[in-house]
């Protein structure tokens, strides 16, 4: 990189030390600075088509012999101590007015994180629970777990600094502005913090991952059983698309089934032709994800106060482009995400009914 570009991201020692705790990579930031001014295309260049017949399995209804068969296989994996749980609770803690979402009361006086942990303990009391935090949420979630007596292990995702569209550091109150670099950090953070090594060392083979704000994504033994029966290295939970759904979807890219984020489809491609929607709940083979992946850092423009800033983020769903993947259609009742206080109030009756039934 040219010297003038490198000088745009020069940091003081105090800032650098604070960020290094969360895996900050200054050389990587300089690469981001060199890309910041470029209007990079994120559109997939390959041929995109719908999944073919047989490439999507359907989770059998509870109570059927097929469901019971898969659930038995999942419960056997629970009993052998082969299953772990990952809860995504990173980000920048901005959508709930600076309150960490994991600590927000969702129902019956319990926080999002407490509900997720209780669900995992109900299904598999021995399963280790890992919480991926961020520089903005880590210390607060560690303290929350202590106060709520939640038996979890927290590990932070990675961090970088926001840039101006010219590739210079964006300053907030004359200070560099950090951000979390996306849930695609998952496998990198698991490895960097020694979590994946320790999990595998204790006999762990499968990790079930879901968002902290989706309390409907329960640790269902039949989902684990379906993953094991498939022989795939990744299982993605997908649901039937409904009007208003915006996000990733399973599709074939040059013949390979994978999750494709909405912004990566060409403008000429009819996304409504894809009947399924990605829930961002996955089952991962622990051995298969114990390596580096060439995930893309996508250039993202955002507004911070009145300023336009540039961030580079990677997405966990892109792992399906690198690993043999299985797509499991589940009921919409397993997908109740909550992104902000307004959506929480709207969905609270549905969430309370779900938890009451459980």
Half-sphere exposure of 38 (CA within 13 A, CB side): 11
Cα separation, 350 vs 345, whole angstroms: 10
Q: For residues 127 and 83, is the Cβ–Cβ distance under 8 A?
A: yes
Residue from 288, 286, 292, 289 nearest 202 by CA: 286
pLDDT (tens digit, 9 = 90+) per residue, 221-239? 999 999 999 999 999 999 9
For tokens 């043999």, name the residue. Answer: 324
pLDDT above 50 for 355: yes
Judge residue 326's burial from the number of C-beta atoms within 10 Å of its C-beta, 0-12 exposed, 13-18 middle, 19 or more buried.
Answer: buried
Q: Which residues of 296-323 are buried (b: 16+ CB within 10 A; e: fewer)?
A: bbbbeeeeeeeeebbbbbbbbbbbbbbb
**Token match 């772990």: residue?**
84
CA torsion through residues 70, 51, 284, 184, sign: negative
Q: Using the structure block, give the residue that is written with the tokens 């979890």.
A: 152
pLDDT of residue 7: 53
Asked whether the beta carbons of 95 and 52 are under 8 A apart, the reply is no
Counting beta carbons within 10 angstroms of the beta carbon of residue 288, is it exposed (0 to 12), middle (13 to 18) or buried (19 or more)?
middle
Q: For residues 302 and 309, give the distance between their C-alpha atoms in angstroms, rounded to a whole number.
A: 5
Output the CA torsion 8→12→16→19 (10° steps): -80
Residue 2: predicted pLDDT: 40
The predicted model gives 328-341 an average pLDDT of: 94
Contact 154, 141 (CB under 8 A): yes
CA distances, 133 to each of 20, 145, 155, 183 (Å): 15, 12, 6, 10
Radius of gyration of the chain, Cα coordinates, nearest whole angstrom: 20
Tokens of 344: 């929480």
What is the tens place of the pLDDT at every residue in 263-276? Answer: 999 999 999 999 99
Q: Which residues contact 294 (CB under 8 A, 6 or more apart)?
A: 322
Residue 108 CB burial class (10 angstroms; 0-12, 13-18, ≥19): exposed
- Summary mean pLDDT of the chain: 93
Say if residue 4's pLDDT is above 60.
no
CA distance 183 to 282: 12
What is the tens place of the pLDDT at every residue in 158-216? Answer: 999 999 999 999 999 889 999 999 999 999 999 999 999 999 999 999 999 999 999 99
Smallest CA-to-CA distance from 358 within 148, 119, 121, 129 is with 119
pTM: 0.95
Contact call for residues 151 and 129 (beta carbons, < 8 A):
yes
DSSP for 231-287, written as a single string: T-SEEEEEEE--TT--S-EEEEETTEEEEE-GGGS-TTS-GGG--EEEEEEEEEETT
Antiparallel, parallel or unpaired: β 129-133 and 256-260: unpaired
The model's confidence at residue 322, banded by pLDDT at 50, 70 and 90, is very high
User: Residue 294 pLDDT > 90, yes or no?
Assistant: yes
Domains in the chain, CATH or no CATH each: 18-34+48-357 (3.90.550.10)
Q: Could you tell me the maximum CA-CA distance found in the chain, to the nearest angstrom?
A: 66
């Amino acid at each position: 990189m040219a010297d003038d570009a490198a000088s745009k991201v020069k940091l003081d020692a105090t800032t650098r030390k604070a960020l290094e705790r969360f895996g900050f990579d200054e050389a990587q930031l300089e690469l981001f600075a060199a890309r910041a001014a470029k209007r990079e295309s994120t559109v997939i260049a390959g041929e995109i088509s719908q999944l073919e017949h047989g490439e999507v399995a359907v989770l059998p209804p509870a109570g059927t012999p097929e469901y019971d068969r898969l659930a038995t296989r999942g419960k056997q994996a629970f009993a052998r101590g082969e299953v772990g749980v990952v809860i995504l609770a990173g980000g920048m803690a901005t959508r709930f007015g600076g309150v960490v979402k994991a600590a927000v009361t969702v129902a019956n006086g319990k926080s999002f994180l407490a509900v997720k942990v209780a669900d995992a303990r109900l299904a598999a009391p021995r399963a280790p629970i890992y919480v991926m935090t961020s520089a903005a949420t880590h210390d607060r979630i560690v303290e929350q777990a202590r106060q709520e007596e939640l038996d979890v292990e927290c590990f932070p995702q990675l961090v970088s600094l926001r840039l101006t569209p010219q590739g210079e550091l964006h300053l907030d109150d004359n200070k560099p502005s950090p951000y979390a670099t996306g849930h695609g950090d998952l496998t990198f953070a698991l490895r960097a913090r020694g979590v994946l090594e320790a999990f595998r060392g204790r006999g762990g083979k499968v990790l079930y991952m879901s968002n902290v704000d989706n309390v409907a994504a329960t640790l269902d033994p039949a989902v684990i059983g379906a993953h094991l029966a498939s022989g795939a290295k990744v299982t993605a939970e997908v649901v039937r698309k409904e009007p208003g759904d915006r996000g990733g979807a399973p599709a074939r890219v040059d013949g390979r089934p994978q999750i494709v984020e909405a912004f990566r489809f060409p403008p000429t491609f009819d996304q409504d032709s894809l009947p399924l929607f990605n829930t961002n709940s996955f089952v991962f083979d622990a051995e298969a994800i114990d390596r580096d992946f060439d995930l893309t850092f996508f250039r993202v423009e955002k507004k911070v106060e009145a300023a336009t800033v540039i961030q580079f983020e990677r997405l966990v769903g892109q792992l399906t482009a690198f690993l043999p993947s299985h797509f499991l259609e589940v009921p919409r009742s397993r997908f109740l995400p909550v992104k902000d206080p307004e959506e929480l109030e709207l969905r609270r009756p549905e969430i309370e009914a779900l938890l009451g039934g459980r």
